[in-house]
Amino acid sequence: MAQPEVHHLFHHPIADHSFSADRQLLAVARESNVDLFKRNGSKFQLADELKGHDKTVTGVDIAPKSGKIVTCSQDRNAYVWEPSPDGWKPTLVLLRINRAATFVRWAPSETKFAVGSGARLIPVCYFEEEDNWWVSKHLKKPIRSTITTVAWHPNSVLLAAGSTDGHARVFSSFIKGVDERPEPSAWGERLPFNTVCGEFLNNTAGWVHSVAFSPSGNALAFAAHDSSLTVVYPSAPEQPPRAVISITTQLLPFMSLVWSSEDEIIAAGYDCQAYRLQGSEQGWQLAGSLETKGRPGVAHREESALNMFRQMDLKGKTTDDTKLDTVHQNTISTIRVYEEAGGQVRKISSSGVDGRVVVWSL
């Protein structure tokens, strides 16, 4: 397994990060700005700053095809940034929410995006040509609490959302004139806006940190604060799911997860390292960490006696235990797909509270 590529950008938490499709541009949410880094050889260099929000930015996403960047913040606003000859041009999006925006993702079609919010609703935003304006439609029922995360189905109509009320839900966000009528699937056949296609709760009703559809869209995984990961396989519309598999781990909770293929999930969170989980409808299990053990530089070197006594004298201990033996030195808050080929994810990127962005080969 290749060594992970570590970019220590700054000493601030990274709430969210996103790479452009050619992976030359990296957008990172840093306090109330979004920093844009450009690849320069093997390093990323600060190229631009998107200033506009006046509170902590909570989400950033670069659309892979159009290159537009959407950001959302605790100031209850979202902006769509478009490249123009004189820099990035922001357009304010009317979210119409009275609490912080928590999370934002473009739909695969890139014609709309969904924003999670503390106002117990999900604004689904799309561009109205006539008014030259981004408008939003609210997914409301039956959300009971803050939406912490959203994820799109490959058909750009179904939207999964995780909430602090412990539920992971699947909604239809079909907007007439914007979306193509979707193919019927196990989630539903006729899908008017705000159809609830599924509502799932795990045993302990812990709040949900992350949701994701499998690459085919026929399974949904969510990670909750009870250190569990639940995978749901729907059977048919309006029917109970074929299988709901919940695994409780010995680890601290996962904050983020991605499917690397139909039978593998990568999840990471408070344990500061990413884990591989494998399984199918029959069952899932934890298959180990992505960290390669005994990496050079972190492995224990043979200490000289002089050095040992000097350390004991100076610090009262012989080894420096202020560093974790993981690549990330703090909670990982986001993991994303970095490179994929033929439906198989080859590389993922992770970012966390320690200000690092790391690219991992699977």
Partner 1 sequence: MANVNWRTINIDALDPDSPANFDLTSLAPSVAPVSTADVQSLASQIRQLLRGGDNEGALQGALENPPYGADDKGKDIHLATVIEILQSIRQSDMSPILSRIYSAPGGTEALDVLMKYIYKGMAQTSATGTARNVTPQPTGFSQIHARGGGEGGGQAMSVLLSWHEKLVEIAGPGSIVRVMTDRRTV
* In the block, residue with structure tokens 């949410």: 29
Q: Is 287 in the site for partner 1 (CB under 8 A)?
A: no
Answer yes or no: are the C-beta atoms of 361 and 347 closer than 8 Å. Answer: yes
Separation of alpha carbons 235 and 218, rounded Å: 9
* In the block, residue with structure tokens 């899932």: 284
Among 6, 46, 205, 312, binds partner 1 (CB under 8 A): 205
Q: Which stretch binds partner 1 (CB under 8 A): 83-91, 137-145, 212-220, 317-325?
A: 137-145
Q: Which stretch binds partner 1 (CB under 8 A): 52-60, 109-117, 246-254, 287-295?
A: 246-254
Q: Which stretch binds partner 1 (CB under 8 A): 126-134, 139-147, 277-285, 321-329?
A: 139-147
CB of 167 to partner 1, least distance (A): 8
- Burial of 142 (C-beta count, 10 Å sphere; 0-12/13-18/19+): exposed
Separation of alpha carbons 127 and 131, rounded Å: 9
* Other residues' Cβ atoms within 10 Å of the Cβ of residue 83: 13
Answer yes or no: are the C-beta atoms of 275 and 286 closer than 8 Å. Answer: yes
* Other residues' Cβ atoms within 10 Å of the Cβ of residue 86: 5
Residues 95-134 touching partner 1, rule: CB under 8 A, are 120
Kindly write down the DSSP assignment for every residue of 121-178, as one continuous string.
-EEEEEEETTTTEEEEEEE-TT--S-EEEEEE-TTSSEEEEEETTSEEEEEE---TTT
CB of 270 to partner 1, least distance (A): 8
Residue among 68 and 225 whose Cβ is closer to partner 1 = 225
DSSP conformational letter for 295: -
Size of the site for partner 1 (CB under 8 A): 24
CB of 61 to partner 1, least distance (A): 28
Q: Is 47 in the site for partner 1 (CB under 8 A)?
A: no
CB of 196 to partner 1, least distance (A): 13
Among 71, 149, 249, 273, binds partner 1 (CB under 8 A): 249
Amino acid found at 146: T
Residues 165-204 touching partner 1, rule: CB under 8 A, are 165-167, 201, 203-204
CA 148 to centroid of chain Cα atoms: 10
Residue among 259 and 275 whose Cβ is closer to partner 1 = 275
Among 248, 278, 311, 330, binds partner 1 (CB under 8 A): 248
DSSP conformational letter for 185: B
Separation of alpha carbons 27 and 349, rounded Å: 12
* Other residues' Cβ atoms within 10 Å of the Cβ of residue 60: 27
Q: Is 224 in the site for partner 1 (CB under 8 A)?
A: yes
Residue among 75 and 165 whose Cβ is closer to partner 1 = 165
Tokens of 294: 């005994």
Q: Which stretch binds partner 1 (CB under 8 A): 63-71, 251-259, 290-298, 322-330?
A: 251-259
CB of 134 to partner 1, least distance (A): 24
Among 92, 94, 252, 312, binds partner 1 (CB under 8 A): 252
Binding residues vs partner 1 (CB under 8 A): 120, 140, 144-145, 165-167, 201, 203-207, 224-228, 248-253
